[in-house]
């Protein structure tokens, strides 16, 4: 970590956060080239309140389109080796159209302070909840893919109000949960270039715009990739990062698994198991990633 955390900050749960964060910063060493900066908006840099309110007509249209789905033929095998099975998709669609309660989710979102601010030409949505406890540690939490800020709703109160959940005031955080560009209520980029590096720069700008001179960052799944980039960039005021998906492998191991080669000699039993699982992902579980990464409009 580039900044020494004060003795007041390093307590209980936050002690675990900072020690785990060191691993996240080290794991971020395989970063791609970074853009030099994200332009700070001038006239549009205000923090504007945002209200979640989806018109009923939009929900009715969604249900109509789901009901009008023309389903393909069933797979020719009895397992998921050809992809998601037809019955699984139909069950999900039925739940989405008839049982899913969007109004409940909308009420949960609307009960929290939602905001919009312009960063580098995009309106970025975020939830911002300040703790009632003094000296709360600011944290920006990034969701994954395919996901949204809904993933983080259940952790906001335990983090901002730890005394109501068996913790102490020293455990408290001020929580910022942004929607990544193109997700949820944030604008979708109209040009290329909004990769993890640029989002990482935007998140630092967001925290500074909110008045935080020091903070920590957490992310999982695609959010972990963004947070890794924050660790590499190490902007002033970023105290630590925490990721629950540190997917960094030695180049020779990664290349061998990707090519389908047998596991290199000298691996321990646990390393061999990890290698086999990585190879399985490359051979059987990542086609969607290549499709969306290389041909997103297809």
Euclidean distance between CA atoms 188 and 206, whole angstroms: 17
Residue pair 217/230 in contact by the 8 Å Cβ criterion = yes
Same domain flag for 127 and 176: yes
Same domain flag for 117 and 25: yes
Same domain flag for 226 and 256: no
Same domain flag for 131 and 271: no
Distance of CA 212 to the CA centre of its chain: 20
pLDDT per 10-residue tile (average), the chain, 298 residues: 36 41 35 42 75 96 97 94 94 96 96 97 98 97 95 97 97 98 96 95 98 97 95 97 85 91 92 94 88 87
- 102 found inside a domain: no
Query: Tell me, what's the pLDDT at 35?
Result: 41
Query: Tell me, what's the pLDDT at 10?
Result: 34
Same domain flag for 279 and 151: no
- 238 found inside a domain: yes
- 141 found inside a domain: yes
Query: Tell me, what's the pLDDT at 21?
Result: 41
Closest to 115 measured CA to CA, from 206, 176, 48? 48
Residue pair 174/136 in contact by the 8 Å Cβ criterion = yes
Same domain flag for 138 and 213: yes
pTM (two decimals)? 0.81
- Domain CATH code at residue 158: 3.40.50.1820
Same domain flag for 269 and 224: no
Query: Tell me, what's the pLDDT at 38?
Result: 55
Could you say which DSSP state residue 16 is in?
Answer: H
Query: Tell me, what's the pLDDT at 19?
Result: 37
- 67 found inside a domain: no
Residue pair 122/152 in contact by the 8 Å Cβ criterion = no
- 228 found inside a domain: yes
* Number of structural domains found in the chain: 2
Q: Which domain holds residue 261?
A: 251-294
Query: Tell me, what's the pLDDT at 235?
Result: 97
Same domain flag for 138 and 256: no
| CB neighbour list of residue 252: distance below 8 Å, 6 or more residues apart | 264
Using DSSP, how many helices (H) and how many strands (E) does the chain show?
A: 10, 7
> 207, 225, 243 — which closes off a domain?
243
Query: Tell me, what's the pLDDT at 248?
Result: 72
- 72 found inside a domain: no
- 115 found inside a domain: yes
- 61 found inside a domain: no
Could you say which DSSP state residue 97 is in?
Answer: I
Same domain flag for 288 and 233: no
Beta-sheet pairing, 48-49 with 122-129: unpaired
> 223, 243, 263 — which closes off a domain?
243
Same domain flag for 130 and 205: yes
């Amino acid at each position: 970590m580039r900044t020494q955390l004060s003795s007041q900050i390093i307590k209980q749960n936050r002690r675990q956060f900072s020690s785990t964060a060191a691993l996240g910063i080290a794991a971020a060493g395989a970063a791609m080239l970074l853009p030099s900066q994200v332009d700070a908006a001038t006239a549009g840099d205000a923090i504007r309140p945002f209200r979640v309110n989806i018109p009923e007509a939009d929900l009715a249209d969604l249900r109509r389109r789901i009901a009008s789905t023309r389903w393909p033929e069933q797979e020719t095998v009895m397992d998921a080796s050809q992809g998601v099975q037809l019955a699984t998709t139909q069950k999900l669609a039925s739940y989405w159209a008839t049982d899913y309660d969007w109004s409940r989710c909308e009420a949960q979102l609307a009960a929290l302070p939602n905001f919009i601010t312009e960063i580098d030409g995009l309106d970025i949505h975020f939830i911002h909840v300040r703790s009632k406890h003094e000296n709360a540690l600011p944290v920006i939490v990034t969701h994954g893919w395919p996901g949204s800020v809904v993933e983080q709703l259940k952790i906001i109160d335990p983090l901002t109000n730890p005394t109501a959940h068996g913790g102490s005031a020293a455990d408290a955080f001020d929580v910022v949960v942004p929607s990544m560009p193109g997700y949820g209520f944030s604008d979708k980029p109209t040009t290329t270039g909004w990769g993890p590096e640029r989002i990482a720069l935007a998140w630092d700008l967001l925290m500074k715009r909110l008045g935080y001179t020091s903070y920590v960052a957490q992310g999982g799944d695609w959010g972990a990739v963004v947070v890794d980039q924050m660790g590499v960039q190490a902007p002033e005021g970023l105290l630590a990062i925490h990721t629950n998906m540190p997917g960094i492998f030695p180049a020779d191991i990664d290349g061998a698994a990707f090519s389908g080669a047998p596991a290199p000699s000298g691996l321990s039993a646990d390393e061999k198991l990890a290698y086999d699982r990585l190879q399985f992902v490359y051979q059987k579980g990542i086609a969607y990633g290549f499709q969306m990464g290389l041909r997103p409009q297809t």
